[in-house]
Amino acid sequence: MAATTCEKAYCRAYQGVMRGAVLLLNWDEPQLIKGAGSIKRLPETVKANGHKSVLVVTDKGLMGLHLLDSLFEGLDAAGVNYAVYDGVQPNPTIDNIEEARQMYVNHACTAVIAFGGGSPMDCAKVAAARIARPNMTVQQMRGTLKILKKLPELYAVPTTAGTGSETTLAAVVSDPSTHEKYALQDPVLRPKYAVLDPELTVGLPPHITSTTGMDALTHAVEAYIGHSNTKGTASAARKATRMILDNIVTAYEDGKNLDARGKMLEASYLAGVAFTRAYVGYVHAIAHNLGGMYGTPHGLANAVILPYVLDYYGETAYAPLAELAEIGGLPVAGLNEEEKAKAFIAKVRELNETMKIPAHLKIEEKDIPVIAKRAMKEGNPLYPVPKIFGYDDFVAVIRQIME
């Protein structure tokens, strides 16, 4: 069924309370270390902050590409010991988190370096939360403001331009036992330092460049069209949108272009700044649950789902989407608001087609009720979306997305 008037009123009231509550939280952004080769400056920062032993959280793919070699050499030169947890899976599990936490304890570490895409970042964040809260399970920390305790110092080194995890207060966990994928959200999860080094993204395959870049665009768009924007988040979302539209295809087609790579990293960071305070929306609610159900990569899911959800919002999202069309430099002079909004959605589809991102995803009919219910549970009442969906709305959109 569609959302009732009472359900909609409850969601909006809840979101209003949250807008007021977040004013009391710490919104300090990470200290940035950026530019080509900036990873080489991180070890001295770690040493200067008094750390003698750190846990590095990454994955086997990045280890195999030797992307961490310069970090390890710098830590050795700085006299900082390190343990490496490289068991992170594409959708980090509770087991991954517990293994990383145990390695931190075993090696008497005092800080964590998250190196990679969203999965190592999320694993590192939640492992740090478990270190700070040893008597709480990951499941007990699920949701918003459940940790509320200072974490070990966290350094984030993104190797993809998409998740924005280096500046967000969120981490996403997969629970294989229930096939759920859910978020932990707390300002203490925000890293203290972020390293934006475009050289680390040069070797990304085109399909990773495209899907992570569209992930960043989804962050910026969902933050901008939602009802919880601030002046700062709106500005960050506008800048991120323009930078992505200007650079994503270049980064996709010419992976060695450091200028485009650097701008995509900055755009991803700005999109993270936007959505970590203004929230995401139903694109993410559905994407998270496709990830939990099928292991669908998050960036791919967001890229495919984004235009369908924007279409379904209809006139409730026309005004901000029209603004993004203008900000993004689309040829919309003389068009009315609805036409500009639809031009922006068409641009999203055009980018997907150009970068060979499919228009649909494999979804089993029998799973739709579970996916819809879980997406609704994630999205309502928290996400300040332009239009409140009910169960039937989620089902309708999911059916459009499926092959």
Q: 58: Cβ–Cβ under 8 A, 6 or more apart, which residues?
A: 68, 84, 85, 86, 88, 114, 115, 116, 120
C-beta of residue 394 within 8 angstroms of C-beta of residue 375: yes
- The pLDDT of residue 180 is 85
- The pLDDT of residue 130 is 98
Same domain, 243 and 345: yes
Same domain, 56 and 88: yes
pLDDT tier at 212 (50, 70, 90 boundaries)?
very high
Q: Three-class SS of residue 116? A: strand
Same domain, 230 and 328: yes
- The pLDDT of residue 38 is 97
Separation CA 381–CA 86 (nearest Å):
36
Helix (H) or strand (E) holding 101: helix 94-106
- The pLDDT of residue 21 is 87
Cis peptide before 381 (omega within 30 of 0): yes
Same domain, 224 and 330: yes
CA dihedral 69, 73, 78, 82 (to 10 degrees): 50
Mean pLDDT of 305-333: 98
Which CATH number belongs to the domain containing residue 134 in this structure? Answer: 3.40.50.1970
Same domain, 134 and 118: yes
pLDDT at 176 over 90: no
Using alpha carbons, select from 61, 118, 68, 112 the residue that is nearest to residue 92.
118
Q: Which of 186, 201, 216 is the last residue of a domain?
A: 201
Same domain, 68 and 171: yes
User: What is the Rg, in whole angstroms, of the alpha carbon atoms belonging to the chain?
Assistant: 20
Say if residue 294 is exposed, middle or buried (CB neighbours under 10 Å; 0-12, 13-18, 19+): middle
Using alpha carbons, select from 22, 24, 27, 13 the residue that is nearest to residue 384.
13
pLDDT at 370 over 80: yes
**Interior/surface letters 383-397, b for 16+ CB within 10 angstroms, e for the rest:** bbbbbbbbbebbbeb
Mean pLDDT of 127-133: 98
Same domain, 197 and 209: no
**Residue 228 within any structural domain of the chain:** yes
Q: What are all long-range contacts of 400-403, with beta carbons under 8 Å and residues at least 24 apart?
A: 400/308, 400/312, 401/286, 401/304, 401/305, 401/308, 401/360, 401/361, 401/363, 402/360, 402/361, 402/362, 402/363, 402/365, 402/368, 403/360, 403/361, 403/362, 403/363
Query: What are the structure tokens assigned to 182, written together?
Result: 């859910």
Tens of pLDDT, residues 226-284: 999 999 999 999 999 999 999 999 999 999 999 999 999 999 999 999 999 999 999 99
pLDDT at 2 over 90: no
**Residue 29 within any structural domain of the chain:** no
String of DSSP letters for 272-335: HHHHHHH---HHHHHHHHHHHHH---HHHHHHHHHHHHHHHHGGGGHHHHHHHHHHTT-S-TT-
Q: Which of 178, 201, 224 is the last residue of a domain?
A: 201
Percent of the chain with pLDDT over 90: 92
Separation CA 89–CA 120 (nearest Å):
8
Mean pLDDT of 129-149: 95
Same domain, 392 and 288: yes
Domain extent for 185 = 35-201
Whole-Å CA distances, 134 to 137, 144, 146? 8, 18, 13
pLDDT tier at 144 (50, 70, 90 boundaries)?
confident
String of DSSP letters for 56-76: EE-BHHHHHTTTTHHHHHHHH
**Residue 121 within any structural domain of the chain:** yes
**Residue 30 within any structural domain of the chain:** no
**Residue 394 within any structural domain of the chain:** yes
Same domain, 276 and 196: no
**Residue 28 within any structural domain of the chain:** no
Same domain, 101 and 212: no
Whole-Å CA distances, 332 to 59, 67, 129, 235, 341? 43, 42, 46, 21, 9
pLDDT at 1 over 80: no
Same domain, 18 and 39: no
Chain mean position to CA 259: 22
Same domain, 229 and 85: no
Whole-Å CA distances, 43 to 46, 53, 113, 200, 335? 5, 11, 10, 16, 52
Phi, psi for 322 (deg, rounded to 5): -65, -40
C-beta of residue 158 within 8 angstroms of C-beta of residue 117: yes
Which CATH number belongs to the domain containing residue 298 in this structure? Answer: 1.20.1090.10
C-beta of residue 238 within 8 angstroms of C-beta of residue 225: no
- Ramachandran class of 85: left when φ > 0, alpha when ψ lies in -120 to 50, beta otherwise: beta
**Residue 325 within any structural domain of the chain:** yes
**Residue 27 within any structural domain of the chain:** no
Counting the structural domains of the chain, the total is 2
Among 103-107, 145-149, 239-243, the minimum mean pLDDT is found in 145-149
Mean pLDDT of 37-61: 97
pLDDT at 208 over 80: yes
pLDDT at 22 over 90: no
Q: Which of 181, 201, 221 is the last residue of a domain?
A: 201
Query: What are the structure tokens assigned to 83, written together?
Result: 């343990």
